[in-house]
Amino acid sequence: MKTRSTRSDVLNSARIQDAAHDIGARLRKAREARGLSQRELARRTGVTNGMISLIEQNKVSPSIASLKRVVEGLPMSLGEFFAADLPPREQIFFRANELTPLAEGGVSFRQVGTDLRGRKVQILHERYAPGADTGEAMLQHEAEEGGVVLKGQVEITVGHRRLVLGPGDAYYFDSRLPHRFRNVGGDECEIISACSPPSF
């Protein structure tokens, strides 16, 4: 079954932080644990087995969209993928340097917590460089999301409605509605957002 796109699916400029995660070893271990060959995983996901091989050897840094597509063929969510083999930890407080980096580049996402298995809410610290956006394609996924703009300006399109929000402004909508985020200001835009259930 084809999954709907989430905001992360179209962030082709956003890259996984290889320094924080050994992507190749994680993917290989998860694939082998399920008895899948690289070729079979490629068939399931539409990604070439050559690309899967390069990812497993850490010879390429996959975009979040690419990695999400691959791990969903296992099947796993990105949250489960990054939390695999981590000891359970009921962490309540998080220092700034303890947020989990999920993407970098024009759009940066840092997540509160690492293992979201069993969690109902995903909290993100988002940053958009001037001109950065979530892509031309409108996004849709099975969730609700909301956020507060801390600084900068972001144009948010939800269905046929569009508005530019600034510091202190907020949004909250049904994520099944087509939506898009774009920094229309000259400065970095910063947002604290929440999504339920977690979208990646």
Q: Are residues 192 and 103 in the same domain?
A: yes
End-to-end CA distance of the chain: 17
Q: For residue 134, is it within any domain?
A: yes
26 is in which domain, residue-wise? 16-83
Q: Average pLDDT, stretch 7-30?
A: 61
Query: Which CATH number covers residue 65?
Result: 1.10.260.40
Q: What mean pLDDT comes out for the span 161-183?
A: 97
pLDDT digits (tens, 9 = 90+) for 131-155: 999 888 888 888 999 999 999 999 9
Residue 137 lies in a domain: yes
Q: Which helix (H) or strand (E) holds 96?
A: none
The single-letter code of the amino acid at 142 is: E
Instruction: Indicate whether 106 and 27 sit together in one domain.
Output: no
pLDDT tens track for 77-133: 777 777 666 555 678 899 998 888 887 778 888 999 887 877 899 999 999 999 999
Share of the chain above pLDDT 70, in %: 86
Say what the pTM is. Answer: 0.63
**Tokens 């949004």 identify what position?**
171
Residue 10 belongs to some domain of the structure: no
